Amino acid sequence: MSSEAAPFHPIYPVCPECSGQLRAGGMLLCRREDDGRRACRQIWACAGQHVWWRWSDRPADDLEHCPHPQLFGD
């Protein structure tokens, strides 16, 4: 058993572009290209209208720019 602590992942991440707090905007079912599985993406947006997403089953992965922000922004 390792004594090394797991990395901290906040419930509400910070926008990588403006450092504003992100708010959850929903989930989207997608087919993942690397393994062909259907999985949900979490949508995140900040007050600066930056929209991000990541795989819900891979919370340690980095946020990615959402390629369709107009569909999920305010």
In the block, which residue shows the tokens 């929209």? 51
Instruction: Flag whether pLDDT at 6 surpasses 50.
Output: no
* Cα distance between residue 20 and residue 58, in whole Å: 22
CB count in 10 Å sphere of residue 32: 13
Task: Give the mean model confidence (pLDDT) for residues 8-29.
Answer: 84
* pTM exceeding the 0.85 threshold for the entire prediction: no
Tens digit of each residue's pLDDT (9 = 90 or more) over 29-61: 999 999 999 999 999 999 999 999 999 999 889
CA neighbor of 11 nearest in space, from 1, 21, 26: 21
Rounded distance, CA 61 to CA 73, Å? Answer: 22
Is it the case that residue 64 has pLDDT exceeding 60?
A: yes
